[in-house]
């Protein structure tokens, strides 16, 4: 659009002399005042060439050719529902000029700079009038600023009202109009100006005040918004609809005076019922556990400054309704466990699609309004026996062991750096010779320690690293019993890799990130890599099915093939159930923030498996039943 296009589309203005203009805005009239005004205008216009030379230390406006204002980042669920917005000081969404209502453009020009398309940065008549008014008042009472002058003030100069600043504005405005077209300046101004309640730019203001986009604003709404510019909080309709309507009529009156609207348009706009939106700038997130995780991932990838000012559009992997269901499930079971003697319990839940490693639900606690600490991603807690599948997978991957290999559950002792270690089972008994399937399904401790020693603890650690568990680990005898810190997200992701037969993508809560104009900044389309042995992965899934059908995880049975593992630490501070079907893997942890014992006899099989079952039954409603692949469908690794 050329610099004249918008002006040519406006109704023809009435010609007016400097005297008539002053009279129109209610200023003092008279021949003496007219002479002073014309003289002042001439002085201002004639002296600007000299001022341009004097103000050599002013900012270089040429940088505005590549200027990108800070913009708000918006986070959406997988279906496009807005979850939250993140911004620094300025809450702003930039829109091009052709997506701003002509009503608003005309209203702003009528209110702020009706000669915008005629001048070259300054309006000598307006500046002259301001000099006269300020001289009579004995101080700065009127600005006389054009839209271009206001823009350079907002971008480069302080807000202090002083004569020298006004001169600097004028010089910079002239310079700016030499490098940018009128439409570019107007677009930048409308996206830069402050509209009140931490709304910067027309788009965020329109959404806040009227719950609509800037291109859909009516004449009445546009006039009300234009009336806010000089004192946004004072004339805000949220603060006083009476004052807002008063300013609206002033803007409409100016538009009528300029012949930019008809009397009927004036009347209709004045009578229009204004339906207010709501102040949005400081609203919290609809799903804080999800959006806070997204924000952390974005800050790590792009930096915090880009997160706060980069105007990113983020599509998450989470369906808001699915996440809300997960949060409600956690809240319900929090109350149930309290009733069963587990006071002060916290619960975290992470669900992942093993085919993509997209996070489908992420609940970091029982109530984000009380505590936003995200136990799903930040709390490192001991996994107990839910760690054992990593040891058994490592043994299967050597080719020396399979689900039916025999291990012996009998008393043993080991010497380590802290002296002698005498491992025992949870119930204190010993089962003698048994298959690996039985040992895992009954969660026996001694067989898994023996197997860990046999294959090498360093190999077990290597498996954990491959699965994305990065907590510090030492190859000590107690490692197979889960004496390390892990997060529920790490556990869900690791089991998801087993469920996908060794294929893995990085777990993420983000599908895609673009900038405000649609350019793709991040595309997390899954690119799975084979990181584990497929046969060994299928074998450990096959064994974990027995945990649910005949072992410690019977309370997790959901009337379809499922595999999983209970977890209970010896001090009963952390209890788990991590399980999967081919389409969804879920980890559930229960513990206390003060890391004290939950209750005597608290176990993952009794208290957490039912939570997992409840969630999975809701999550899988309408999802077809699918069987796991048999280990026989994959070649068994050669014995190492």
Active site residues: 112, 385
Tokens found for residue 111: 């209110």
- Quick one: CA torsion of 83, 616, 357, 496, rounded to 10 degrees? 150
Please choose, from the candidates 61, 63, 47, the residue with its C-alpha nearest in 3D space to the C-alpha of residue 178: 61
Scanning 3-90, the segments in alpha helix (DSSP H) are: 5-9, 18-24, 31-54
Residue located via tokens 């002792």:
413
**DSSP codes of every residue in 239-258:** T-HHHHHHHHHHHHHHHHHT
Planar angle of CA 169, 175, 177, nearest 5 degrees? 100
Q: What are phi and psi of 352, to 5 degrees?
A: -130, 140
568 DSSP assignment? E
Neighbours of 336 (CB within 10 A): 15
Angle between helices 388-397 and 488-499 (to 10 degrees): 30
Burial class (CB in 10 A: 0-12, 13-18, 19+), 178: exposed
Q: Nearest to residue 489, comparing CAs of 497, 501, 481?
A: 497
What is the C-alpha to C-alpha distance for residues 141 and 132, in angstroms, rounded to an integer? 10
Contact 366, 336 (CB under 8 A): no
Q: CA geometry: angle at 369 spanning 364 and 374, to 5°? A: 20
Q: Cα separation of 197 and 493, whole Å? A: 42
| d(C-alpha 304, C-alpha 326), whole Å | 29
CA 239 from chain centre, in angstroms, equals 29
Contact 230, 194 (CB under 8 A): no
Distance CA 386, CA 566 (A): 5
Strands (E), 235-333: 313-316
Backbone angles phi, psi at 279, to 5 degrees: -65, 125
**What is the spatial distance between Cα 49 and Cα 143, in angstroms, rounded to a whole number?**
21
Contacts 24+ apart (CB under 8 A), 52-58: 52/171, 52/174, 52/175, 55/167, 55/168, 55/171, 58/156, 58/168, 58/171, 58/172
Q: What is the 3-state secondary structure (H, E, C) of 366-393?
A: CCCCCCCCCCCCCCCECCHHHHHHHHHH
In eight-state DSSP terms, residue 191 is H
At 574, is the secondary structure helix, strand, or coil? Answer: strand
Using CA atoms, how far residue 394 sits from 231, 424, 536, 638, in Å, is: 68, 22, 8, 13
Q: What is the rounded distance in angstroms from the CA atom of residue 590 to the CA atom of residue 83? A: 27
Q: Report the run of H or E that residue 589 belongs to, with start and end.
A: strand 584-591
Q: Is the CB of residue 40 less than 8 Å from the CB of residue 136?
A: no
Half-sphere exposure in the Cβ direction for 114 (13 Å, CA): 23
């Amino acid at each position: 659009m050329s610099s004249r296009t918008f002006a040519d589309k406006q109704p023809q203005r009435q010609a007016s002399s400097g005297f008539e203009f002053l009279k129109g805005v209610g200023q003092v009239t008279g021949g003496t005042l007219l002479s002073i005004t014309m003289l002042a205008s001439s002085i201002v216009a004639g002296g600007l060439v000299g001022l341009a030379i004097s103000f050599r230390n002013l900012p270089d406006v040429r940088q505005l050719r590549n200027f990108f204002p800070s913009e708000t980042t918006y986070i959406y669920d997988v279906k496009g529902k807005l979850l939250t917005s993140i911004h620094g000081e300025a809450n702003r969404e930039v829109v091009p000029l052709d997506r701003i209502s002509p009503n608003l453009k005309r209203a702003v020009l009528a209110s702020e700079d009706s000669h915008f398309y005629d001048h070259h940065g300054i309006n000598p008549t307006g500046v002259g009038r301001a000099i006269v008014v300020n001289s009579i008042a004995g101080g700065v009472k009127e600005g006389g600023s054009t839209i271009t002058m206001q823009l350079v003030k907002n971008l480069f100069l302080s807000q202090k009202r002083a004569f020298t600043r006004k001169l600097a504005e004028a010089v910079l405005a002239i310079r700016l109009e030499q490098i940018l077209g009128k439409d570019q300046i107007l677009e930048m101004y409308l996206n830069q100006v402050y509209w009140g309640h931490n709304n910067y730019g027309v788009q965020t203001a329109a959404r806040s005040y009227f719950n609509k986009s800037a291109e859909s604003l009516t004449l009445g709404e546009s006039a009300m918004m234009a009336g806010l510019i000089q004192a946004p909080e004072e004339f805000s309709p949220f603060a006083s609809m009476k004052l807002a309507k008063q300013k609206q009529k002033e803007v409409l009156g100016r538009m009528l005076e300029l012949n930019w609207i008809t009397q009927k348009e004036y009347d209709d706009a004045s009578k229009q019922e204004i339906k207010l939106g709501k102040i949005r700038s400081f609203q919290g997130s609809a799903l804080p556990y999800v959006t806070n995780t997204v924000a952390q991932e974005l800050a790590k990838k792009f930096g915090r400054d880009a997160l706060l000012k980069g105007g990113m559009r983020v599509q998450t992997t989470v369906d808001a309704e699915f996440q809300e269901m997960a949060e409600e499930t956690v809240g319900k079971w929090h109350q149930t466990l309290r009733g069963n003697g587990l006071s002060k319990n916290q619960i975290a839940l992470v669900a992942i699609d093993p085919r993509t490693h997209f996070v489908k639900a992420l609940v970091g606690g029982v109530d984000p309004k009380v505590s936003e600490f995200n136990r799903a991603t930040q709390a490192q807690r001991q996994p107990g026996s839910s760690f054992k599948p990593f040891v058994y997978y490592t043994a299967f991957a050597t080719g020396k062991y399979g689900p039916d290999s025999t291990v012996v559950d009998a008393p043993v002792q080991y010497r380590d750096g802290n002296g002698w270690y005498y491992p025992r089972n949870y119930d204190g008994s010993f089962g003698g010779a048994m298959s690996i399937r039985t040992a895992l399904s009954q969660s026996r401790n001694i067989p898994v320690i023996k197997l860990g020693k046999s294959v090498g603890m360093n190999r077990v650690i290597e498996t954990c690293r491959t699965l994305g568990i990065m907590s510090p680990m030492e190859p000590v005898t107690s490692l197979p019993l889960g004496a390390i810190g892990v997060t529920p997200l790490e556990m869900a992701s690791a089991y998801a890799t087993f469920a996908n037969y060794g294929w893995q993508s990085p777990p993420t809560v983000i599908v895609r990130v673009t900038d405000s104009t649609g350019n793709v900044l991040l595309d997390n389309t899954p690119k799975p890599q084979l990181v584990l042995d497929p046969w060994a992965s299928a074998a450990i899934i096959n064994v974990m099915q027995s945990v649910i059908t005949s072992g410690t995880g019977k309370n997790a049975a959901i009337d379809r093939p499922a595999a999983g593992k209970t977890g209970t630490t010896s001090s009963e501070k952390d209890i788990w159930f991590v399980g999967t079907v081919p389409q969804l893997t879920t980890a559930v942890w229960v513990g206390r923030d003060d890391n004290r014992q939950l209750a005597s006899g608290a176990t993952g099989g009794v208290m957490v498996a039912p939570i997992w079952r409840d969630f999975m039954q809701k999550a899988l409603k309408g999802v077809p039943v699918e069987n796991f692949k048999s280990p026989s469908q994959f070649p068994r690794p050669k014995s190492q």
